[in-house]
Amino acid sequence: MRLVVSLIGGVLMVALGSSSAQALATYVYRGDNFDTIEDDDPPAGSYDTSMRVTVSITLPTELAADLVLESVTDQIVAATIHDGRRSFTDVLATFSTDASGAIVEWQVGTPWIPSPQLGGGVFTRHRFDPPPGTAATSDSGSIWLDPYSADSARIVDSPGTWALIPEPATALLFGLGLLGLAAQRAGPR
């Protein structure tokens, strides 16, 4: 059994080594809670101040350094944007990054969904517009009916945070590889 575990671990380590160049990069956004709610009836239900915009975007590689409002929409491997009530997988994303590749500006959202169907969308934006240093920041979710009836939620001037998380499959392989190594070291001398 120990030998089998060691062999599996070794194979996984080799697989990890050969595929690391293609490791995916997933960026996760957590907005701050909405502070402004508008509620009509219809639509049924309401946003509330426990809700927020959250985003997950998986790209083929980590973002390059020093991007300036660069669209990555065409590179998205998988994405979800959620406003507390609805989730969407059709996502538009534009980023600026600093010298270390960290996200410093963004415009991320769903394409606008037109009325008279259940329309609306989700949006997070943190962007520095001229004059330099002037931040325009807002997160919002909305559900629209035609005509003139809408639920919406937003928070202004309170940007959330982005985090780069390990691609799950890669992390799993890495963990199994470490287990294999540990089993080898614990084996008979």
Is 43 a binding residue for Ca ion by CB under 5 A? The answer is yes
Closer residue to Ca ion in complex, CB, 48/98: 48
Helices (H), the chain: 2-19, 168-186
Site residues for Ca ion, window 151-170 (CB under 5 A)?
151
Instruction: Rule CB under 5 A: choose which of 32, 39, 48, 129 binds Ca ion.
Output: 39
Q: Which of the stretches 33-41, 85-93, 101-109, 123-131 binds Ca ion when contact is defined by CB under 5 A?
A: 33-41
CA–CA gap between residue 187 and residue 129 (Å, rounded):
61
Cα 77–80–123 angle (5° rounding)? 120
- Taking the complex as a whole, the smallest distance from the CB of residue 44 to Ca ion amounts, in Å, to 6
Residue 130 CB contacts under 8 Å (≥ 6 apart), including other chains = none
Structure tokens at 52: 């927020």
- Taking the complex as a whole, the smallest distance from the CB of residue 16 to Ca ion amounts, in Å, to 49
Closer residue to Ca ion in complex, CB, 45/166: 45
- Site track 94-133 with Ca ion (rule: CB under 5 A), x = hit: ----------------------------------------
For the CA atoms of 36, 132, 99, 140, the dihedral, rounded to the nearest 10 degrees, stands at 20
SS (H, E, C) 67-81: CCCEECHHHCCEEEE
Question: Which residues contact Ca ion by CB under 5 A?
Answer: 39, 41, 43, 46, 151
